[in-house]
Amino acid sequence: MNAERLLVHYEKIADAPDAIARLRRFVLDLAVRGKLVPQDPNDEPAAELLKRIAAEKARLVKAGEIKKGNPLPPVEDDADFEVPKSWQWTRLGIVTCYIQRGKSPKYAASDGALVVSQKCVQWGGLDLTVAKEVTWESLADYEAIRFLRDGDLLWNSTGTGTIGRVIRLDDPPENLVCDSHVTVVRCLEVDPEYIRTWLRSDHVYALIEDRAAGSTNQVELTAQMAISQVVPLPPLDEQRRIVAKLDELMALCDRLEASLAATDNTRRRLLEALLAEALAPVEERELEAAE
């Protein structure tokens, strides 16, 4: 499907309340399928990256910095789609050094340490204005590994309407911890923002959200479910290119969203720019294949 046909399709839904949300999901889908940026044959393949991750994880285990996890099954029937040759399907537990839900906190009436709840984890980032507090004394019972670090992913693990939301921490305050409704995902030798891209794509988020919405029982994302979650892994340099391109295209989505009150011509120009940016690598590969 070329850019012109997609433009016609999206113009048909441009006035729909969720038109921009659909467009964002479309861009995320291109990203995790390897269709957002071109592959570079000079990149270190993901298979080699996984070897380096395994070696670093073994070093951390030997140093006593992390615990040795149980072996995970290979990704076979769990793979959702084909990925480029330089990519490899893996599991979240393989590309991380720590995945664990927070502890049930001992709340403080006042003058305590902040604790992250699922209300704090919003798509726009971490909102500590709604955070409760835990007693300073209770922090002594927390292992050092539980305190949040720069680059950690926080993944909401319970509650219809909140489950599945995921953010990346940027320079969090000291002594910050999570409660038991949030899972901490600490990446190892991979770009955490790329992993967050996969977790918020419809291949993961939509399935979790649908499962939660479709049940009368409390649905939970357990630590084991998180560890076993499949991941399409690109080479590290390509991960970074994907993240950079996503930042650019999501900024265009923001502009498009802001233009909804503007003229149709303005909206059309912004949509054309967005689709041209998103589809350029795909069209280039189609032309190369045709030649």
CB neighbour list of residue 235: distance below 8 Å, 6 or more residues apart = 40, 43, 44, 45, 46, 49, 86, 87
- Range with the poorest average pLDDT among 4-8, 131-135, 217-221, 249-253: 4-8
Q: What does the alpha-carbon distance between residue 190 and residue 262 come to, in Å, rounded to a whole number? A: 40
Residue 59 to residues 44, 48, 67, 93, 188, Cα–Cα distance (Å): 21, 17, 11, 16, 12
Residue 221 to residues 78, 111, 162, 218, 269, Cα–Cα distance (Å): 17, 31, 11, 10, 41
Burial code (b: 16+ CB inside 10 Å, e: under 16) for 190-209 equals bbbbbbbbbbbbebbbeebb
Q: What is the pLDDT of residue 5?
A: 43
Q: Is 289 a residue whose pLDDT tops 80?
A: no
Residue 249 backbone phi and psi in degrees, to 5: -75, -35
- Nearest residue to 270 via CA among 1, 10, 18: 10
What number is the average pLDDT over the span 244-269? 76
CB atoms within 10 A of CB 36: 25
Q: What is the pLDDT of residue 290?
A: 47
Residue 60 to residues 32, 52, 67, 191, 210, Cα–Cα distance (Å): 29, 12, 8, 19, 37
pLDDT digits (tens, 9 = 90+) for 20-42: 788 888 889 999 999 999 999 99
- Range with the poorest average pLDDT among 3-7, 249-253, 284-288: 3-7
DSSP assignment of 20-71 equals HHHHHHHHHHHHHTT-SS---TTSPPHHHHHHHHHHHHHHHHHTTSSPPPPP
Burial code (b: 16+ CB inside 10 Å, e: under 16) for 224-238 equals eebbbbbbbbbbbeb
State the CATH architecture for 48-233: Alpha-Beta Complex (3.90)
- Nearest residue to 166 via CA among 193, 133, 148, 131: 193
Determine the distance from the C-alpha atom of residue 87 to the mean position of all C-alpha atoms in its chain, rounded to a whole number.
17
- Range with the poorest average pLDDT among 150-164, 168-182, 241-255: 241-255
Residue 148 backbone phi and psi in degrees, to 5: -70, 145
Mean pLDDT (the chain, rounded): 86
Residue 101 backbone phi and psi in degrees, to 5: -75, 150
Q: What is the pLDDT of residue 3?
A: 42
pLDDT digits (tens, 9 = 90+) for 93-151: 999 999 999 998 888 887 889 999 999 999 999 999 999 999 999 998 999 999 999 99
Q: What does the alpha-carbon distance between residue 151 and residue 185 come to, in Å, rounded to a whole number? A: 9
CB atoms within 10 A of CB 118: 22
Q: Report residue 265's pLDDT band, with 50, 70 and 90 as the boundaries.
A: low
Q: Report residue 219's pLDDT band, with 50, 70 and 90 as the boundaries.
A: confident
The reported pTM is 0.86
Q: Is 228 a residue whose pLDDT tops 70?
A: yes
Q: Report residue 257's pLDDT band, with 50, 70 and 90 as the boundaries.
A: confident
Q: What is the pLDDT of residue 202?
A: 92
What number is the average pLDDT over the span 239-261? 84
Looking at the chain, the whole-number percentage of residues with pLDDT higher than 90 is 58
What number is the average pLDDT over the span 255-272? 68
Q: What is the pLDDT of residue 207?
A: 83
- Nearest residue to 227 via CA among 114, 105, 137, 100: 100
Determine the distance from the C-alpha atom of residue 240 to the mean position of all C-alpha atoms in its chain, rounded to a whole number.
13
Q: What is the pLDDT of residue 111?
A: 82
- Nearest residue to 239 via CA among 72, 32, 93: 32
Amino acid identity at 103: K
Q: What is the pLDDT of residue 174?
A: 92
C-beta of residue 92 within 8 angstroms of C-beta of residue 99: yes
Query: Which part of the chain is CATH 3.90.220.20?
Result: 48-233
- Nearest residue to 94 via CA among 195, 240, 220: 195
What number is the average pLDDT over the span 240-262? 82
